[in-house]
Structure 1
Amino acid sequence: MLATIPEHALAKSEGEGRIRNDQWHLRFLKASRAHSISQGEGTIVAIPDTGIAPHPDLRKNLLSGVDIIPGGSGDGRLDRDSHGTGMAGLVAAHGRGDAIGALGIAPRSKILPIYDSPPDGDGDPDALAQGIEYAISRGADVISISSVGGTTRRLANAIGTAVASDIVVVAAAGNRPEDSGVGYPASERGVIAVGGVDRQGKHAAVSVSGPEVDVVAPAVDIYSTSIDGKYRKGTGTSDATAIVAGAAALVRSKYPDLPAAEVAHRLTATAVDKGPPGRDDEYGYGVLDLVAALTADVPPVGFGSATAGAPAGSRPVTTAVAEPAGDDGDGGATARGWATLGVIVAAGGAWALVARRRRHGDDPPPRISR
């Protein structure tokens, strides 16, 4: 199930001039400051979704991908739903000049489109698994999954292989009321589970809570690219997931030798704490802070109190204070079920980093939610 609740599409002529202003999440996250440090150069973000249309604001960053299920264009670059195109725009839209068109979190990263989820239909866990396998074979640096749903042995194996291949996997936690808790694959050990906040930086009503949530990002009224050269506004943890995937691309670009587990650690260690002190079920380790993730002095996993195996409720340590995210602007977040969640997995000793964030050892029962 896709983890986005689309609200409306803007006509091309209506959206071009206003869309950047409507992207409140860019100001909230101080994206312009982050872009002076990194824009995601040299990274590939794979997006298994409903396909991705070659929108004018995205076209230069769109690679040739693959169709896992029948009905696409053969290369993943066809979208009849708009969800996949919206997620891609949040990651890597480059716009068209100053303040024209949509802008992504990592506007110089490349997007690998994978058509694995039919429009307005339930996703197949094995199709997602095949998409992840394809992303691994194409050298993806980040896999952004904005969906929740059932699991199979093949899907669990694909996630494990992605982690062992040093790929950052990011997944959506899920949306209320369809989901009552963190869904799969965000609930998988080793995955970065993403929840959502609103324009005030408070827990978004649409976002589920749970002990698996690692980090939160804007998820309400999020504007992005759509099909036919148009724009869309949506709400849900799908959008928050794509935003975090873009952040992972920024970090991987700035620190190209940093292992995937350390990228995840940097994102959570520099997040702005919200709610009760330390990690909690609504905000995880806190609200994404792009600038701090790129600039803070973060001790590596296994250093001091940030060692693997630390108590699940404890917060990773950073020697630099993360600057609180600002808030202004308009927004919208996309909520998608099983086809749009994200996972991050680490191999060997790094596996313990994410394992410590899970308070349960039971796998979720197979399900498809929409």
Structure 2
Amino acid sequence: MPPPLALQPSGGDRVRSDQWHLRYLNVQSAHQLTQGNSVTVAVPDTGVYPHPDLHMNLLTGIDIIAGGSGNGQRDRNSHGTGMAGLIAAHGQGNATGALGIAPKAKILPLYDTPAGGDGHPDSLAQSIEYAINNGADIISISNVGSTSPRLNQAVRTALASNIVVVAAAGNRPEDNRVGYPASEEGVIAVGGVDRLGQRASVSVTGPEIDVVAPAVDIFSTSIDGKYRRGTGTSNATAIVAGAVALIRSKYPYLPASEVVHRLTATAIDKGPPGRDDEYGHGVIDLVAALTADVPPLGFGSATASAPAPTAGTTTAVAEPAGDGNGGATTRGLVTLGVIVAAGGAWTFIARRRRRGDDPPPRISR
């Protein structure tokens, strides 16, 4: 397979306007509260290229498998760079370039998945072990596949170490149920929604789903200073990891279990009332997660007291529908997402409040 193409560097002039998920999640208001300062997010993936929109937040990582740069900062695929950008890209001056959900968070790049998209569960386990021992507050895992005793233990050790683990649920049609490690109890299993806030057809469903986030036509950083557009639950996972980074920055002494509880308790309920297998607890709401009065876990049956719906909470921006659905290509550990570029496309792979489902009028751009 030839190396993936991507949108040219000049695309930085327009990529911010193409990042519809920023408006959908009201990131501008969330950034007035926190931008993810003092939080480290580990990204086990295909490596992370030091993109101009991201490089200031990129730490020295490690290569788990051979063929990288030695520090996790080489990416021949673009998947890992895209995920890192969704979490913590800082963009460029004059509101150009890609912007992440937590643009002042740090990224710990871990190269454990080769460019072809297949990884071994023990390589992911080794990445997680490294993250545990090197200061990660969050581990964002945008792949799904088989497991191993070492991987099981690594995930459970991370959870026991006050680290929030976020993982992709999986992509249809290749995946028909929530995969590992998203299926592990305690891990935030992430599904996806489209531009209208409806479940993306690529998103796997199941009882393990915790929350959903934008997953369709998501623009982010790519290799060689370029940009990418992807569809899949991998994108939603990175976005949720960014949301968790905001919470951990705003509430630095909150234990991981309460961070997860704050995220799910303030999610906007979708589908049938209550938790369901398509949307989990609902669509993440950044501003509510940072401002709501959320009773601690086990505090009776009290609900989160969130602000009344205003400009400070998530709004669904009605834009043209269309999932551009594709999915993971193989078993093993597979990166989740569809990367689309100029000239071609390729595949890689608590209680809540409820808001009306009708989207507001289309916002022109």
> When the two structures are superposed, what TM-score results if normalisation uses the length of structure 2?
0.86
Q: Does 1:48 align with 2:44?
A: yes
288, 306, 309: which one aligns with 1:320: 306
Residues 1:36 and 2:28 are matched in the alignment? no
- The 10-residue stretch of structure 1 (53-62 or 121-130) with the greater mean CA deviation from structure 2: 121-130
Distance 1:340 1:146 in 2: 6
Find the counterpart in structure 2 of residue 137 from structure 1. Answer: 133
Name 2:262's counterpart in structure 1: 266
Quick one: distance in 2 between partners of 1:61 and 1:340?
22
Deviation at 1:141, TM superposition (A): 0.3
Counterpart of 1:151, as a letter, is T
1:153 aligns with 2:153: no
Distance in structure 1 (CA, Å) of the matches to 2:52 and 2:325: 21
Q: 2:97 matched to 1:111?
A: no
Partner of 1:80: 76
Partner AA of 2:228 in structure 1: R
Identical aligned residues as a percent = 69
Q: After superposition, give the CA deviation of every residue in 1:284-341 in whole Å (9 maximum; x if it has no partner).
A: 00001000000000001111116xxxxxxxxxx2122574621336898996573558
Distance 1:280 1:45, change over 3 A: same
Check 1:333–1:291 CA distance in 2 against 1; reply closer, same or farther (3 A cut): farther
Instruction: Between the two structures, name the one with larger relative contact order (CA 8 Å, sep ≥ 6).
Output: 1
- Aligned 8 A contact 1:45 1:112 in 2: yes
Does the aligned pair in 2 maintain the 1:172–1:340 contact within 8 Å? no
Q: Provide the C-alpha distance between the structure 1 equivalents of 2:69 and 2:4, rounded to a whole number of angstroms.
A: 26
Aligned to 2:293: 297
Aligned-residue offset at 1:121: 3.5
- The DSSP-based 3-state class of the residue aligned with 1:251 is helix
> Taking structure 1 as reference, are residues 230 and 216 closer, same or farther at Cα in structure 2, changes over 3 Å only?
same
Task: Flag the 1:206–1:197 CA change in 2: closer, same or farther, 3 A.
Answer: same
Q: In the TM superposition, what whole-angstrom CA distance separates every residue of 1:191-243 from its partner, at most 9, and x where no partner exists?
A: 10000000000000000100000000000000000000000001000000000
Query: Which secondary structure does the structure 2 equivalent of 1:183 belong to?
Result: coil
Backbone CA RMSD of aligned residues: 2.0
CA contact (8 A) 1:222 1:334 kept: no
**d(CA) in 2 for partners of 1:141 and 1:237?**
21
Q: Which residue of 1 aligns with 2:272?
A: 276
Separation (CA, whole Å) in 2 of partners of 1:214 and 1:334? 22
Matched, 1:11 2:8: yes
Kindly indicate whether the alpha-carbon contact (under 8 Å) linking 1:45 and 1:111 is maintained by their aligned counterparts in 2. Answer: yes
Structure (1 or 2) with the greater strand fraction: 2
Distance between the aligned counterparts of 1:332 and 1:168, measured in 2?
A: 30
Q: Which residue of 2 aligns with 1:26?
A: 22
> Aligned to 2:251, which of 241, 245, 255?
255
Is the Cα contact below 8 Å between 1:239 and 1:334 reproduced in 2? Answer: no
SS state at 1:40 partner:
coil
User: For residues 129 and 233 of structure 1, do their structure 2 counterparts lie closer, same or farther at Cα, with a shift above 3 Å needed?
Assistant: same
Does structure 2 retain, via aligned residues, the 8 Å contact 1:216–1:287? yes
Q: Distance in 2 between matches of 1:213 and 1:335?
A: 18
Deviations 1:325-368 (A, max 9, x none): 21336898996573558xxxxxxxxxxx9xxxxxxxxxxxxxxx
Q: Secondary structure at the match of 1:134?
A: helix
For residues 108 and 212 of structure 1, what CA distance do their matches in structure 2 show? 30
Choose 297-306 or 20-29, whichever is displaced more: 297-306
Distance 1:178 1:7, change over 3 A: farther
Q: Distance in 1 between matches of 2:157 and 2:52?
A: 34
1:239 alignment counterpart:
235
AA partner of residue 169 (structure 1): V
Contact 2:4–2:77 (CA under 8 A) maintained in structure 1: no
SS of the residue 1:291 aligns to = helix
CA distance in 1, matches of 2:88, 2:101: 6
Distance 1:270 1:90 in 2: 21
The letter of the residue matching 1:116 is: D
1:98: how far off? 2.4
How many Å apart are 1:46 and its aligned residue? 0.1
Contact 2:41 2:137 in 1 (8 A): yes
- Number of residue pairs matched? 326
Contact 2:118–2:335 (8 Å) recurs in 1:
no
Q: 1:333 to 1:235 in 2, by over 3 A?
A: farther
Which residue pairs with 2:363 in the alignment? none
| Partner secondary structure for residue 144 of structure 1 | strand
Q: Deviations over 1:130-149 (max 9, x none)?
A: 00000001010000000000
C-alpha offsets along residues 45-84 of structure 1, whole Å, 9 cap, x if unaligned?
A: 0000000000000000000000000000000000000000
CA contact under 8 A between 2:268 and 2:282: conserved in structure 1?
A: yes
2:173/2:327 contact within 8 Å kept: no
Normalised to the residue count of structure 1, the TM-score between the two structures is: 0.85
Q: Secondary structure at the match of 2:240?
A: helix
